[in-house]
Protein backbone atom coordinates (compact mmCIF):
# COMPACT_ATOMS: atom_id res chain seq x y z
CA UNK A 1 0.00 0.00 0.00
CA UNK A 2 2.72 2.46 0.97
CA UNK A 3 4.73 1.41 -2.06
CA UNK A 4 1.81 2.23 -4.39
CA UNK A 5 1.32 5.58 -2.67
CA UNK A 6 5.00 6.38 -3.13
CA UNK A 7 4.80 5.43 -6.81
CA UNK A 8 1.77 7.68 -7.24
CA UNK A 9 3.56 10.63 -5.69
CA UNK A 10 6.66 10.06 -7.82
CA UNK A 11 4.50 10.26 -10.93
CA UNK A 12 2.54 13.23 -9.56
CA UNK A 13 5.65 15.21 -8.60
CA UNK A 14 7.19 14.74 -12.01
CA UNK A 15 3.95 15.86 -13.67
CA UNK A 16 3.65 19.02 -11.56
CA UNK A 17 7.04 20.51 -12.39
CA UNK A 18 9.40 18.17 -14.19
CA UNK A 19 12.56 20.28 -14.31
CA UNK A 20 12.79 21.32 -10.68
CA UNK A 21 11.71 17.89 -9.46
CA UNK A 22 14.27 15.85 -11.36
CA UNK A 23 16.41 15.54 -8.21
CA UNK A 24 13.35 14.34 -6.28
CA UNK A 25 12.57 11.79 -8.99
CA UNK A 26 16.18 10.64 -8.99
CA UNK A 27 16.33 10.26 -5.21
CA UNK A 28 12.98 8.45 -5.01
CA UNK A 29 13.99 5.97 -7.70
CA UNK A 30 17.55 5.55 -6.41
CA UNK A 31 18.60 1.95 -6.43
CA UNK A 32 15.91 1.00 -8.94
CA UNK A 33 16.79 -0.62 -12.20
CA UNK A 34 17.18 1.46 -15.33
CA UNK A 35 14.12 -0.17 -16.89
CA UNK A 36 12.02 0.74 -13.83
CA UNK A 37 13.21 4.36 -13.97
CA UNK A 38 12.44 4.45 -17.67
CA UNK A 39 8.98 3.00 -17.06
CA UNK A 40 8.24 5.54 -14.32
CA UNK A 41 9.45 8.42 -16.51
CA UNK A 42 7.22 7.26 -19.36
CA UNK A 43 4.28 6.93 -16.98
CA UNK A 44 4.92 10.48 -15.78
CA UNK A 45 4.93 11.82 -19.31
CA UNK A 46 1.71 9.93 -20.06
CA UNK A 47 0.00 11.34 -16.97
CA UNK A 48 1.18 14.84 -17.86
CA UNK A 49 -0.21 14.40 -21.35
CA UNK A 50 -3.57 13.21 -20.04
CA UNK A 51 -3.77 16.15 -17.62
CA UNK A 52 -2.86 18.62 -20.38
CA UNK A 53 -5.42 17.04 -22.70
CA UNK A 54 -8.06 17.44 -20.01
CA UNK A 55 -7.25 21.13 -19.68
CA UNK A 56 -7.37 21.62 -23.45
CA UNK A 57 -10.66 19.75 -23.87
CA UNK A 58 -12.28 21.71 -21.07
CA UNK A 59 -11.12 24.98 -22.61
CA UNK A 60 -12.24 23.92 -26.06
CA UNK A 61 -15.68 22.94 -24.78
CA UNK A 62 -16.08 26.42 -23.33
CA UNK A 63 -14.74 28.02 -26.52
CA UNK A 64 -17.39 26.27 -28.61
CA UNK A 65 -20.02 28.45 -26.96
CA UNK A 66 -18.18 31.62 -28.00
CA UNK A 67 -17.40 30.33 -31.47
CA UNK A 68 -21.03 29.34 -31.98
CA UNK A 69 -22.14 32.87 -31.19
CA UNK A 70 -19.92 34.21 -33.95
CA UNK A 71 -20.28 31.40 -36.50
CA UNK A 72 -24.05 31.13 -36.78
CA UNK A 73 -26.48 33.83 -37.88
CA UNK A 74 -28.71 35.12 -35.05
CA UNK A 75 -31.75 33.18 -36.24
CA UNK A 76 -29.87 29.84 -36.07
CA UNK A 77 -27.52 30.49 -33.17
CA UNK A 78 -29.28 28.41 -30.51
CA UNK A 79 -29.97 25.57 -32.92
CA UNK A 80 -26.41 25.47 -34.26
CA UNK A 81 -24.84 25.65 -30.83
CA UNK A 82 -27.17 22.91 -29.57
CA UNK A 83 -26.12 20.66 -32.43
CA UNK A 84 -22.43 21.38 -31.87
CA UNK A 85 -22.65 20.58 -28.17
CA UNK A 86 -24.82 17.51 -28.85
CA UNK A 87 -22.31 16.04 -31.31
CA UNK A 88 -19.59 16.64 -28.74
CA UNK A 89 -21.60 14.74 -26.15
CA UNK A 90 -22.04 11.83 -28.55
CA UNK A 91 -18.27 11.69 -28.95
CA UNK A 92 -17.69 11.84 -25.21
CA UNK A 93 -19.98 8.85 -24.74
CA UNK A 94 -18.93 6.88 -27.80
CA UNK A 95 -15.18 7.31 -27.37
CA UNK A 96 -14.83 5.43 -24.08
CA UNK A 97 -17.28 2.77 -25.26
CA UNK A 98 -15.28 2.20 -28.44
CA UNK A 99 -12.01 2.17 -26.50
CA UNK A 100 -13.26 -0.39 -23.99
CA UNK A 101 -14.66 -2.54 -26.79
CA UNK A 102 -11.31 -2.43 -28.59
CA UNK A 103 -9.47 -3.52 -25.45
CA UNK A 104 -11.99 -6.32 -24.89
CA UNK A 105 -11.34 -7.50 -28.46
CA UNK A 106 -7.62 -7.71 -27.74
CA UNK A 107 -6.36 -4.43 -29.19
CA UNK A 108 -3.80 -3.68 -26.49
CA UNK A 109 -0.94 -2.30 -28.56
CA UNK A 110 -0.66 1.49 -28.58
CA UNK A 111 -0.58 1.69 -32.38
CA UNK A 112 -3.83 -0.27 -32.58
CA UNK A 113 -5.56 2.08 -30.17
CA UNK A 114 -4.21 5.15 -31.99
CA UNK A 115 -5.65 3.73 -35.22
CA UNK A 116 -9.12 3.98 -33.69
CA UNK A 117 -8.88 7.76 -33.91
CA UNK A 118 -8.23 7.77 -37.67
CA UNK A 119 -11.83 7.27 -38.94
CA UNK A 120 -13.29 10.13 -36.80
CA UNK A 121 -10.32 12.29 -37.80
CA UNK A 122 -10.99 11.58 -41.47
CA UNK A 123 -14.70 12.41 -41.06
CA UNK A 124 -13.81 15.67 -39.29
CA UNK A 125 -11.31 16.58 -42.02
CA UNK A 126 -13.85 15.89 -44.76
CA UNK A 127 -16.51 17.93 -42.91
CA UNK A 128 -14.09 20.84 -42.47
CA UNK A 129 -13.14 20.68 -46.15
CA UNK A 130 -16.81 20.60 -47.18
CA UNK A 131 -17.65 23.51 -44.88
CA UNK A 132 -14.72 25.60 -46.13
CA UNK A 133 -15.80 25.12 -49.75
CA UNK A 134 -19.48 25.84 -49.03
CA UNK A 135 -18.95 28.78 -46.68
CA UNK A 136 -20.70 31.97 -47.76
CA UNK A 137 -18.36 34.77 -46.79
Report pTM: 0.46
**Residue 122 pLDDT class (50, 70, 90 cuts):** very high
The string of pLDDT tens digits covering residues 11-64 is 666 566 667 767 777 787 888 888 888 888 888 777 777 777 877 877 777 777
pLDDT at position 86 over 90: no
Identify the DSSP state of 117.
T
The string of pLDDT tens digits covering residues 58-79 is 777 777 778 777 878 888 888 8
Query: Mean pLDDT, to the nearest integer, of 114-120?
Result: 85
User: Is the separation of the CB atoms in 10 and 21 below 8 Å?
Assistant: no
Backbone Cα Rg of the chain: 21
Q: Taking the C-alpha atoms of 56, 122, 70 and 132 in order, what is their torsion angle to the nearest 10 degrees?
A: 140
User: What is the spatial distance between Cα 80 and Cα 103, in angstroms, rounded to a whole number?
Assistant: 35
Q: Is 126 exposed, middle or buried (0-12, 13-18, 19+ CB in 10 A)?
A: exposed
Amino acid sequence: MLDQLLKFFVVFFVVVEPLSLLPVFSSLTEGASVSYKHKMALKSVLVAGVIATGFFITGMQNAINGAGGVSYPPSLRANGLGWALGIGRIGSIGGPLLGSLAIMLGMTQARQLFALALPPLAVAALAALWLSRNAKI
